[in-house]
Structure 1
Amino acid sequence: MPRLTDARKELRRAQITDAAVRCFGRNGLERTSIADITAESGLSTGSIYTHYSSKADLVRAAAGAVLAKRAEVLGEYAAGDTPPDPDELLARLIANINPVEARVGVQTWGEATTDPVIRGVVVDMIDRMRAMLHDCVTAWLVKVEHHDPAEAREQATPIADRVSALYLAELLHAALRSPTEETAS
């Protein structure tokens, strides 16, 4: 059997991660088995375990994939000539909430209360998200509000914390919506 190239390995990992997110969103973390992910991905169980050592490893990858999407968007906002103000930043983030990913996020938070490995993933993801929001708010304060960069970094902290808290609340709200509410909105 030919060896997978690095690019092909990354494609397989993404295929498995995407399947895991769909399964976690549909069935929950606890009720999703590796067999479910195998069926959803169209790959073999051996292939799943070649790329991920455990379900916790898959949860970590799924959380990382969701955060990577937000990181890309937030990076674009911060790099722009006119970064959005905090209200607009929050509105844009909320507008891009994927209900399936929101359900996976909230389920992951629940698992974090009893599983120290998952707790580490959740704390890391929230800290990274807060840091990206801090960068966006700092960029807005410097580029739009014309604050001194050092002063802007300090002022950005409580603002980014509030934006983060409101965004996490909106994720919870999106996760709790029924599928019929999702299609109506």
Structure 2
Amino acid sequence: MPRLTDARKELRRAQIAEAAVRCFGRNGLERTSIADITAESGLSAGSIYAHYLNKAHLVRAAAREVLAERDDVIGEYAADDAPPGPDELLARLVAAIDPAEARVGVQVWGEATTDPAIRDIVVDMTGRMRAMLHDCLTAWLVKVEHHEPVEARERAASLAHRVMALYQAELLYTALRSAAEEPAS
């Protein structure tokens, strides 16, 4: 039996994670089974379990995949000669919200209140996202607003917190709006 290359393994993992996000968005975390993800991905249950131990690991992978996309984009913003300020950064983030991902995100937040493994994922992902926002806003304060780096880092902390809170509110709004707009099954 041929072995998968590392690149092929990563593609397979991404395929499974994307199928999981679609299932979670459609059925909810609790009502999505590995069998659902198997059917959605077109892979065998054995293949799913070869890459992920359980549903919590799939949730973690899906969250990391979404965060990696945000990291790339926010990193590009920070590297610009004129990074976006708080309002523009929030506007860009909100414009990029995918309704299915927003629904999954809100479900994950709900699960985090009762499942310690999911709570750890949410705390980690939220902290990472806030750190990315902090770096981008620090760059804006230094490059555009001409603050000293130390002062900029201090000021960026409260700005990043507010941008993060507003972004999460928009995720919730999008999740609720998109769920209400879908036809009943």
TM-score range, shorter-chain basis? over 0.9
CA RMSD of the aligned region, Å?
A: 1.0
Show structure 2 runs of 5+ residues with no match.
Answer: none
Map residues 38-77 of structure 1 onto 2, 5 A cutoff: 38-77=38-77
Give the superposition deviation at 1:177. 1.0
Secondary structure of the 2:38 match is helix
Q: Which TM-score applies when normalising by structure 1?
A: 0.96
Moved over 6 A (4+): none
Deviations 1:41-89 (A, max 9, x none): 0000000000000110001101111111111110000011110011000
Identity of aligned residues (%): 78
Within 2, Cα distance between the matches of 1:150 and 1:12? 43
Secondary structure of the 2:3 match is coil
Within 2, Cα distance between the matches of 1:44 and 1:53? 14
Matched AA of 1:128: R
Question: Compared with structure 1, are the counterparts of its residues 74 and 47 closer, same or farther at alpha carbon in structure 2 (3 Å cutoff)?
Answer: same
Q: Show the counterpart of 2:142.
A: 142
CA contact (8 A) 2:103 2:179 kept: no
Q: Show the counterpart of 1:129.
A: 129
| Matched pairs, number | 182
Give the superposition deviation at 1:180. 7.1
Deviations 1:98-143 (A, max 9, x none): 0000000000000000000000000000000000000010000000
Secondary structure of the 1:163 match is helix
Within 1, Cα distance between the matches of 2:94 and 2:171? 8
Within 2, Cα distance between the matches of 1:85 and 1:56? 35
Within 1, Cα distance between the matches of 2:31 and 2:3? 33
CA contact (8 A) 2:82 2:143 kept: yes
Within 2, Cα distance between the matches of 1:156 and 1:51? 38
Q: Which TM-score applies when normalising by structure 2?
A: 0.96
Q: Show the counterpart of 2:119.
A: 119
Secondary structure of the 1:92 match is helix
